[in-house]
């Protein structure tokens, strides 16, 4: 037994060197041979550890010191085969900078925020509290009242001379750098043109071009005379149909019964301004069948009023001649009485023609019956053309009646309200 033990010991002694000599001491990685303990040039947390692996890099133990070659980290240690350091803090507490660290030098870098908006008409800045860019307009004021100051985003301030021309030939235009435009009146009586066809002899007075108004009165009762600054005098016919101030009707069979005349004023009495609701004078001229004026009178008609006349009771009850006509022609000429309740109506005096007259008349007609009876009809007075000669005849003969008729030939004036025809 002792001999067997000695043999075993001898055999172990002989085998021990061969076993120790077989332990690896190098690593063969990616075709390269590395000695045990060699660090991976690409990873400071790996080394050749043949006892662990001869063909791959082996991670160093966690917590091993290393160098990540980054100057912006400190306390580098290995963690799971990676070299990890604590980043250096580079905060300057300024919201208007971008904070960073230079990895090669380890120095903090504070880069200002770029607030340039590319507009040279603004002053660009950054709010250190909010970090927002602010763009304030620059001032282009050249302290010259004779320029219009603006800014062009591409070229900067622009100073344009202001226009002081007031298009008034009666002023001398200039500009003062402190107070701006001045318009100094030229000498009075300097000739000018006010561009109005309604004036003549235009001249400057106190810086205003003033002309003397021309007269557009053509002497005709039947025209409304006015002036258009562009074209000059205008003469509108107001005596022709359908807006004539001259209206005519008749009344027949007055021996058999009465006829009535009703008159109103529509309000458009001013031929130069139909919007003015003036009163009008209804000037009434009555003729017998022989064309002789037997009476005349006038009455005031206010806007929208209704007045009336009885042919028997008002127009032929006080005729110039003793004979009482059995049929008459009644002519009415409307003239402007102005505003209010004027009492200046006079059929013997020529007035200003007025629009707005509307009148109706009744008359009797014999009916085909035995014995003879009469029917009443009513119709508008007929608007007619009034010539200046006819109007002169009407007013002058009425004036003759007033002056020489000893009170005869002056008919009664209108009464308020309407009348209807009557027959016997």
pLDDT tens, 29-76?
Answer: 999 999 998 999 889 899 999 999 999 999 999 989 998 888 899 888
The pLDDT value recorded for residue 159 is 94
**CA 385 to chain CA mean position, Å:** 46
State the greatest distance between any 2 C-alpha atoms of the chain, in Å, as a whole number.
201
Closest CA to 184 of 167, 193, 172: 172
- Is the CB of residue 69 less than 8 Å from the CB of residue 84? no
- Is the CB of residue 292 less than 8 Å from the CB of residue 401? no
Q: Is residue 298 part of a domain?
A: yes
Tens digits of pLDDT across the chain (424 residues): 445 554 555 544 454 454 445 678 999 999 999 999 899 988 989 999 999 999 999 999 998 999 888 889 988 899 998 999 899 999 988 999 999 999 888 899 999 999 999 899 999 999 988 989 999 999 999 999 999 999 998 889 999 999 999 999 999 999 999 999 999 999 999 999 999 999 999 999 999 999 999 999 887 777 778 899 999 999 887 766 456 789 999 999 999 999 999 999 987 755 556 566 788 999 999 999 999 999 999 999 988 999 999 999 999 999 998 899 999 999 999 988 876 666 689 999 988 888 889 999 999 999 988 888 999 999 999 998 888 889 999 999 999 999 999 999 999 888 888 876 554 4
- Rounded Cα distance, 408 and 319, in Å: 6
- Residue 334 has what DSSP assignment? E
Q: 94 to each of 102, 107, 113, 255, how far by Cα in Å?
A: 18, 17, 10, 119
Q: Is residue 217 part of a domain?
A: no
- Rounded Cα distance, 74 and 85, in Å: 5
The pLDDT value recorded for residue 224 is 77
10 Å Cβ neighbour count for 356? 24
Closest CA to 123 of 133, 141, 138: 138
The pLDDT value recorded for residue 355 is 82
> SS3 of 21, please?
helix
pLDDT tens, 181-227?
Answer: 999 999 999 999 999 999 999 999 999 999 999 999 887 777 778 89
Q: Is residue 356 part of a domain?
A: yes
Domain interval for residue 385: 246-416
The pLDDT value recorded for residue 309 is 95
Q: Is residue 55 part of a domain?
A: no
Burial environment of residue 399 by CB neighbours within 10 A (0 to 12, 13 to 18, 19 or more): middle
**CA 325 to chain CA mean position, Å:** 67
The number of folded domains in the chain is 1
Q: Is residue 161 part of a domain?
A: no
DSSP-assigned letters across all residues of 261-328: EEEEE-S---TT-TTS--EEEEEEEEEETTS-EEEEEEEEE-TT-EEEEEIIIIISSS-SSSSPPSSE
The pLDDT value recorded for residue 165 is 94
Which token pair is 142?
A: 């050249």
- Rounded Cα distance, 410 and 315, in Å: 8
DSSP-assigned letters across all residues of 384-410: ----HHHHHHHHHHHHHHHHHSTTTTB
DSSP-assigned letters across all residues of 74-110: EEEEEETTEEEEEEPP---S-TTEEEEE-TTT--EEE
Q: Is residue 12 part of a domain?
A: no
Contact partners, residue 194, CB within 8 Å, separation at least 6: 202, 209, 210, 211
Contact partners, residue 296, CB within 8 Å, separation at least 6: 283, 284, 285, 286, 347, 348, 394, 397, 398, 401, 402, 409, 410, 411
The pLDDT value recorded for residue 274 is 58
Q: Is residue 351 part of a domain?
A: yes
Q: Is residue 258 part of a domain?
A: yes
- Rounded Cα distance, 27 and 53, in Å: 7
């Amino acid at each position: 037994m002792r001999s067997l033990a000695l043999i075993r010991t001898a055999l172990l002694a002989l085998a021990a060197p061969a076993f120790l000599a077989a332990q690896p001491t190098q690593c063969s990685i990616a075709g390269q041979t590395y000695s045990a303990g060699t660090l991976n040039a690409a990873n400071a947390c790996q080394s050749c550890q043949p006892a662990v692996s001869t063909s791959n890099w082996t991670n160093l133990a966690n917590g091993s010191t290393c160098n990540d070659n980054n100057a912006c980290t400190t306390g580098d240690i290995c963690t799971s085969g990676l070299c990890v350091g604590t980043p250096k803090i580079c905060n300057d507490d300024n919201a208007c900078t971008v904070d960073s660290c230079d990895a090669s030098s380890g120095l903090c870098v504070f880069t200002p925020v770029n607030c340039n908006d590319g507009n040279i008409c603004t002053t660009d800045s950054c709010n250190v509290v909010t970090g927002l860019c602010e763009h304030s307009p620059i001032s282009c004021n050249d302290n010259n009242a004779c320029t219009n100051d603006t800014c062009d985003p591409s070229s900067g301030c622009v100073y344009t001379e202001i226009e002081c021309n007031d298009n008034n030939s009666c002023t001398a235009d200039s500009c003062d750098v402190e107070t701006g435009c001045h318009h100094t009146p030229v000498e009075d009586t300097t000739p000018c043109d006010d561009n109005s066809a309604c004036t003549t002899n235009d001249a400057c007075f106190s810086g205003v071009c003033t002309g003397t108004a021309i007269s557009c009165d053509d002497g005709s009762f039947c025209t409304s005379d006015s002036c258009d600054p562009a074209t000059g005098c205008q003469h509108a016919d107001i005596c022709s149909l359908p807006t004539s101030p001259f209206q005519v009707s008749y009344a027949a069979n007055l021996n058999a019964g009465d006829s009535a005349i009703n008159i109103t004023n529509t309000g458009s009495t001013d031929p130069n301004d139909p919007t003015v609701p003036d009163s009008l004078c209804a000037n009434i001229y009555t003729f017998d069948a022989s064309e002789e004026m037997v009476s005349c009178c006038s009455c005031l008609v206010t806007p929208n009023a209704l007045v009336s006349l009885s042919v028997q009771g008002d127009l032929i009850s006080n005729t110039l001649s003793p004979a009482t006509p059995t049929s008459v022609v009644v002519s009415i000429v409307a003239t402007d009485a102005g505003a209010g309740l004027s009492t200046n109506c006079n059929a013997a005096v020529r007035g200003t023609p007025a629009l707005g007259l509307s009148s109706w008349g009744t008359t009797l007609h014999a009916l085909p019956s035995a014995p003879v009876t009469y029917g009443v009809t009513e119709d508008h007075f007929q608007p007619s053309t009034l010539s200046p000669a006819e109007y002169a005849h009407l007013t002058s003969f009425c004036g003759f009646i007033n002056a020489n008729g000893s009170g005869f030939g002056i008919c009664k004036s209108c009464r308020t309200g309407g009348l209807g025809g009557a027959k016997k």
